[in-house]
Amino acid sequence: MVKWSDFERATIQDIFSKIDKDVVGQAALSRCLIVYPWTQRYFGSFGNLYNAAAITSNPKVAAHGKVVIGGLEKALQNMDNIKQAYTDLSVLHSEKLQVDPDNFKLLADCLTIVVASNLGISFTPEVQAAFQKFLDVVVAALRKQYY
Amino acid sequence: MSLTEKDKAAVKALWAKISKSADAIGADALSRMLLVYPQTKTYFSHWPDTKAGSEPVKKHGKKIMGGVGLAVSKIDDLAAGLLELSELHAFKLRVDPANFKLLAHCLQVVIANMFPKDFTPEAHVACDKFLANVALALSEKYR
């Protein structure tokens, strides 16, 4: 059972209310594909990922970025039971998509960097700690059904 | 994943933009690391205070960025350039090298936060590679 302080709950809700969801998902996913190019192995059907410019302007990457944010919002709505809420997603990533779960951390780090670049001085160390704790829980939940 | 000439140019260009704020970046990154990854506080049990803005954190953040600046200037041969620092970390400080990744992440969070327009994905990948190579050079003498 994950314990969330009032500050953490409020902070995470606040972050999601402040960020432009259409932009952040795309920015984080494209950053992940650029900074950690081996992650491209999972996106063979996405077309042109040849260089940073191609990745940043790729419409499938943008669309998938929104899917990722949608997944995070599901966690946000089920903060006291993310593991349970993510059972199907975890099975999907493990059995169908066969994603090496170490990659989840790479995307999480890129999300942190994108949120940091968007929130300016309001992204204090305490806010960062709360956000990273949330992402850690999400990543653990995604890993849960791997065997 | 060694640094290409393109990476080195990108790192130097980024450093030129951010180096004036080096002290602030170092202090902020260090305080974030101590808060977000509390296990790192174990290396600083001799400090009365590990909070952001405290004197030891500011002073040490400055020292760390001095090391980063040195690494930028020795980017063509990090192992040789950081030899003394590697010996310090290996024999005296004995910091588990896994922690270098944590500080590298926090450094990049701060750079993204303070310089969002400059920390493009291209700058990010070069910087991430650079910090990974710095960590490797710092671990040179460990065993």
pTM, entire model = 0.94
End-to-end CA distance of chain A: 21
ipTM of the complex: 0.91
Question: What is the mean predicted confidence (pLDDT) over B46-50?
Answer: 92
Q: Are A55 and A61 in contact (CB under 8 A)?
A: yes
**Residue corresponding to tokens 């952040």:** A24
Show pLDDT as tens, one digit a residue, over chain A (147 residues): 899 999 999 999 999 999 999 999 999 999 999 999 999 999 999 999 999 999 999 999 999 999 999 999 999 999 999 999 999 999 999 999 999 999 999 999 999 999 999 999 999 999 999 999 999 999 999 999 999
- Confidence band, pLDDT 50/70/90 cuts, at residue B69: very high
- The token duo for A35 is 């900074």
Give the model's pLDDT for residue A1: 80
- Give CA–CA dist B113/B20, Å, rounded: 15
Q: Are B93 and B43 in contact (CB under 8 A)?
A: yes
B98 lies within 8 A of chain A by CB? no
Measured between beta carbons, which residues in chain B are less than 8 angstroms from residue A107? none
Question: What is the mean predicted confidence (pLDDT) over B37-61?
Answer: 94
Which domain does B80 fall in, by range?
A: 5-139
Indicate which CATH number applies to the domain containing B100. Answer: 1.10.490.10
B79 lies within 8 A of chain A by CB? no
What are the tens digits of pLDDT across the range B3-31? 999 999 999 999 999 999 999 999 999 99
What are the tens digits of pLDDT across the range B85-136? 999 999 999 999 999 999 999 999 999 999 999 999 999 999 999 999 999 9
The domains of chain A, with CATH numbers, are 6-143 (1.10.490.10)
Domain count, chain B: 1
Interface of A with B in 13-72 (CB under 8 A): 30-31, 34-35, 52, 55-56
